[in-house]
């Protein structure tokens, strides 16, 4: 599995912790920045992560900011991205199983490091369940296509 990861300044420290977990799990990843705690604008780092996942360069993405909300919004603007903001491992698992989520967003000011690591473990190990959920993803894709044509 290949993972794309990026954060703004507020998510910089948590990103480092999650990169350490990826190293521990021997998961290949690319850090799209930011590379310091100096103030930056989150779209500049989240959009490249989402675009890389959308293109298929990476299977999943991780985006981190202060709340995770803006990061999820930006990621979900990219065609083919299904980003979920997670605050507990059950949401992370269900996001993959039911929604085939391909990007996870964290709010470093909202979630603790150990909970974020537990969420990420669930996200990385869970698989899309298919079945009845396929029709829902097809509906999402149609909405996305309709909006792109506007």
pLDDT in tens, 43-54: 999 999 999 999
- Domain that includes residue 112, residue range: 2-148
**For a pLDDT cut of 90, what percent of the chain falls above it?**
97
pLDDT value of residue 50: 98
pLDDT at residue 69 in the model: 98
The domain that contains 41 carries what CATH number? 3.40.1400.10
Q: What is the mean pLDDT of residues 85-113?
A: 98
Residue 60 — φ and ψ, nearest 5°? -140, 165
148 pLDDT more than 90: no
Give catalytic residue positions: 98
Q: Is residue 150's pLDDT more than 90?
A: no
- Give pLDDT, residue 43: 98
* Domain total in the chain: 1
Report the pLDDT averaged over residues 86-112: 98
pLDDT digits (tens, 9 = 90+) for 53-83: 999 999 999 999 999 999 999 999 999 999 9
- DSSP one-letter string for 75-114: HHTSTT--EEE-SSHHHHHHHHHHH---EEEEETTTS-HH
């Amino acid at each position: 599995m290949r993972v794309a990861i990026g954060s703004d300044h507020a998510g910089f420290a948590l990103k480092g912790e999650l990169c350490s977990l990826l190293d521990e799990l021997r998961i290949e990843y690319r850090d799209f920045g930011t590379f310091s705690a100096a103030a930056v604008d989150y779209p500049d780092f989240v959009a490249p992560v989402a675009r890389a996942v959308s293109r298929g360069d990476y299977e999943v993405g991780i985006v981190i900011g202060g709340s995770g909300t803006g990061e999820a919004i930006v990621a979900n603007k990219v065609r083919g991205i299904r980003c979920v903001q997670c605050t507990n491992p059950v949401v992370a698992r269900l996001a993959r199983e039911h929604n085939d989520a391909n990007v996870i967003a964290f709010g470093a000011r909202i979630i603790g490091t150990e909970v974020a690591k537990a969420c990420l473990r669930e996200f990385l190990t869970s698989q899309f369940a298919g079945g009845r959920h396929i029709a829902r993803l097809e509906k999402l894709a149609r909405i996305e296509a309709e909006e792109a044509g506007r």
